[in-house]
Every structure is written in structure tokens, then in C-alpha cells.
Structure 1
Amino acid sequence: MQNGIDLYALDIERTSFVKACGGPCTEGCVTLARIGDGSWALGDSKRPDIEPLRFTTEELDAAGIDPARFGLSV
């Protein structure tokens, strides 16, 4: 939880995800979307039916995931 917010309680139904690919993107790509202040959803383009994982900005940073690579700002 960040600031007492349950990340999985945030509605992401109309959220727009963007892809970041390390190559030709023929096998699927990681997708990322901002879902709140300091909150992110991380998905897989080849498995869009699977619920995206949710992270705080600090957790993304600790994992080495930079939203700027997706064209997103923190």
C-alpha cells in the first residue's frame, strides 16, 4: 500500500497502457500505465487477459523499471 491506498482497489478498466520493447516486439512486450499518484500497473501485451501487476513508483525504481522508457513521466 502507498499512503494507505490499496493498489488493487484502483479501477484500471479504462487505463491506457503503453509498450516498451527491447527488440522487434514479435513475442510480446511489457506494458505500463499510470493508475494514480505514484501508482503503476505493469502488464504483458501477449497476455492481455491476465490482471496487470501493480506497483508504487518506489517499487518500480527498485526493480529498475523506468517509466521514461515507456514515454511516461514520474
Structure 2
Amino acid sequence: MRADRPTAAHAPTPHRGHPAVHRKASASAGEKDCVEVAELPHGARAVRDSKNPEREPLRFTASEWAAFRGA
């Protein structure tokens, strides 16, 4: 899953509350409802549903993200 298009909304990161820029996952194709991914410090990622950007994103450590991507 590659994230390549930034969205306007931001979500707080778990590291000092800095905003994260979420990008639409390339696997979402041209659909409206998609998964968005933000890069966080230390290789972590935040994942959210584009239909509910105001909700708290799911956060993954770098090792959790690598395991997910390798599945």
C-alpha cells in the first residue's frame, strides 16, 4: 500500500502532538471511500478511514507496519 496523495485534514501523532499528513493509499484506486496513511516519527504509521477523518487513527509501530506490509 503506497500513500501518494495528501489530504487537507490532519491527525495528532503520538509524538508531541505534531500534525501528520495523511495520504490516500494507492490501493484505493479512484474510489471516494478509502484508507489514508500518515508517516510518523521513527517509521511508525497512522491509518484512518477517509469517511471519518476526525476519528482517532489507528497507530502502528515501525515493526508492526513492516509485519503488516509483509503479510
TM-score range, shorter chain: 0.5 to 0.7
SS across alignment from 2:63: helix
2:10 maps to: none
TM-score by length of 1: 0.60
Q: Distance in 1 between matches of 2:14 and 2:66?
A: 22
Identical amino acids, percent of aligned pairs: 34
Show structure 1 runs of 5+ residues with no match.
Answer: 1-7, 66-74
* Structure 1 ranges of 4+ moved more than 3 A: none
The correspondence of residues 8-23 of structure 1 with structure 2, limited to 5 A, is 9-10=14-15, 11-12=17-18, 14-20=19-25, 21-23=27-29
Amino acid at match of 2:59: R
State the aligned residue count: 56
The correspondence of residues 27-66 of structure 1 with structure 2, limited to 5 A, is 28-64=33-69
Higher strand share: 2
Q: Bigger radius of gyration, 1 or 2?
A: 1
Amino acid at match of 1:23: A
